[in-house]
Structure 1
Amino acid sequence: MNLKILAIATALTLGLTGTAQAHKAWLQPSQTVFSEKGSWITVDAAVSNDLFYFNHVPLPLERLQVTAPDGSSVKAQNGSTGKLRSVFDLQLEQEGTYKIAMNNEGMFASYKLGGEAKRWRGKASEFKTGIPAGATEISASESLGRVETFATVGKPSTTVFKTTGKGIELVPVTHPNDLFAGESASFQLLVDGKPASGLKIEIVPGATRYRNQQDEIHVTTGADGKFEVKWPQAGMYWLETASEDNKTTLPDAKQRRLSYVAVFEVLPQ
């Protein structure tokens, strides 16, 4: 597998964090709050070492899913993928909240061939043909990753937060487009539609390239899957969490890896 593709796939499915790994997957909108219908938003999509700078690989636009306030799908415009980032535009023609997401579902495997360690990633239907004959020490896991951000025109709405009951999903207590510096916000995380207790969450403000410390915030979900964060300052923030279990739905996978990433804009008071 091409190393660039592998880096993209790994970032989407394994939830790479700033502490364990340097690379972070993200969607960064030009802004998230609008007053008029018909406004335009530009979104950058990348995997990078620094938030939010283009210095690694782009995210693939074929995985992009945009949901409008009424629950319908919206097609992005002017999409382009370069060496370091993908970028696209959206015209926000409805009042309410849009969800902009890249979802990835499939399998990830490691094995040895001729004594050399190899990796493979793809759809479950491709697994048996994707692993070459003669491979040994095959270990496969099911993967489900989400990378999301949100934008609102006028009054915030909640239709786009309807859950699927699969993987890690965010349920807002505080609306993600109603965040202000110096104030606290609350959210709930679900795994397979149920409150996810004990999920460790890392939150990092942007512009990491221009400071020596990540300035990360660490929180953990309670028994009800909820957590609270107080925003120290205005700006864009990256949130990430991940988990592993054995609740696979694929017969060839012995482990399931889940990840969730969101980008929030915190405004000054």
Structure 2
Amino acid sequence: MNRLLLSFVFLLTAIPSTTYAHKVWLLPSQTVFSGPEPWLTVDAAVSNDLFYFNHFPLGLDNLVITAPDGTHVDAENKAKGKYRSVFDLPLTQRGTYRVAVVNDGAFASWEENGKRRRWRGSAAAIESEIPADATNLRITESFGRIETFVTNGAPSLDALQPVGKGIELIPVTHPNDLYSGETATFRFLVNGQPQKDMEIVVIQGGTRYRNSQEEINVTTNEEGEFQVTWDDPGMYWIETSHQDDETKIKNAVGRRMSYAGTFEVLPQ
């Protein structure tokens, strides 16, 4: 991931997306497939409008694809253009795939020889990057998940099991079983535990052609669950964030986490 994009991704994990125009997303060519071995194509971008390529591409260095049997598989035909990245995936297994870009790192700032320094990178590398004589050191852990789900044949759940880190969406309603006029229920976990009072933003794509975002705002309950009633078919973007001080990075002042998922709602 280049330095400019890395810096922007860390910014995305630090500030709720509703406070600025840019949104980060994965856009699948479709989410429900049938046939012997169909192919999926995914666009990845940071943009001003959902889901249009008008800012810059999302890096794919941290792309993690979980197959229906729970194993990790590799994307094919990765490419990076001016405004978007793209990749393909042959759906050789039957069931549900989880396709995610997972950014795990930290941001640090300090003073060195009278000058303010800043650094962004992986949590594992941070200790070796900060000089021993650094003063006024401030470190923030950052974890972001950007994802979508696709199913070949009947939906399955093995790829959707939580890993226990950051914000994770757990389906009560399967993410590839969404239909207009129906209500879906999802659960958010933070480090493997249900998280209440998380503020969720749901926006349908096509914002370029609307005068307002027409966002839906919901909050998780005691079980970390929230519900969305889909008025219309189409692609939807779900976003949330969370901050706490439960970081395991030495000298870190806190932890900032973000989530952005793309979901397809089909007509009845």
TM-score, normalised to structure 1, is 0.92
Aligned-partner Cα distance in 2 for 1:210–1:29 = 20
The residue aligned with 1:35 is: 34
- Which ranges of structure 1 fall in alignment gaps of 5 or more residues? none
CA contact (8 A) 2:167 2:258 kept: yes
Q: Gaps (5+ residues) in structure 2?
A: none
Matches within 5 A, 1:77-88: 77-88=76-87
Q: How many residues align?
A: 267
Q: For 2:108, what is the secondary structure of its paired residue? A: strand
CA distance in 1, matches of 2:162, 2:173: 16
Report the secondary structure of 1:45's partner residue. strand
Kept after mapping to 2: 8 A contact 1:185/1:228: yes
Cα distance, 1:118 vs structure 2: 5.5
Cross-structure match for 1:8: 9
SS in 1 for 2:147: strand
CA distance in 2 between counterparts of 1:35 and 1:112 reads 57
- Judge conservation of contact 2:31–2:176 (CA < 8 Å) in 1: yes
Q: Counterpart in 2 of 1:236?
A: 235
Amino acid at match of 2:99: I
Which residue type is aligned with residue 229 of structure 1? V
Identity among equivalent pairs (%): 53
Taking structure 1 as reference, are residues 210 and 130 closer, same or farther at Cα in structure 2, changes over 3 Å only?
A: farther
| Aligned pairs for 1:209-224 within 5 A | 209-224=208-223
Aligned residue for 2:124, secondary structure, equals helix
Q: CA deviation at 1:53?
A: 0.9
Contact 1:35 1:153 in 2 (8 A): yes
| Distance of 2:178 and 2:116 partners within structure 1 | 45
| Structure 2 residue matching 1:160: 3-state secondary structure | helix
In 2, the alpha carbon distance for the partners of 1:228 and 1:209 equals: 26
| Counterpart Cα distance in 1 of 2:168 and 2:54 | 28
CA distance in 2, matches of 1:182, 1:171: 21
1:185-220 residue CA offsets vs partner (Å, 9 max, x unmatched): 000111111111110000111111111100100000
Q: 1:73 offset after TM fit, Å? A: 1.4
Mean Cα deviation higher: 222-231 or 164-173:
164-173
Contact preservation (8 Å) 2:235, 2:265: yes
- CA distance in 1 between counterparts of 2:185 and 2:251 reads 38
Superposition pairs for residues 3-152 of structure 1, below 5 Å? 3-11=4-12, 13-14=13-14, 16-17=16-17, 19-111=18-110, 119-131=118-130, 136-152=135-151
The Cα shift of 1:97 comes to 0.3
User: What TM-score comes out, normalization by structure 2 length?
Assistant: 0.93
**Secondary structure of the equivalent of 1:198?**
coil
**Per-residue deviation at 1:178?**
0.5
Other structure's SS at 1:61 match:
coil
Q: Which segment is superposed worse, 116-125 or 242-251?
A: 116-125
User: Conserved in 2, the CA contact under 8 Å of 1:15 and 1:258?
Assistant: no
TM-aligned CA distance change 1:45 to 1:16, over 3 Å? farther
Secondary structure of the corresponding residue to residue 254 of structure 1: strand
Quote how far apart the aligned CAs of 1:106 are: 1.0
Asked whether the equivalents of residues 43 and 84 of structure 2 are also in contact (C-alpha less than 8 Å), the reply is yes
Q: Is the 8 A contact 1:174 1:186 kept in 2?
A: yes
Q: How far apart are residue 129 of structure 1 and its match?
A: 4.5
Cα distance in 2 for residues equivalent to 1:117 and 1:267: 51
Give the superposition deviation at 1:103. 0.5
Distance of 1:24 and 1:126 partners within structure 2: 28
Contact 1:67 / 1:98 at 8 angstroms: preserved in 2?
yes
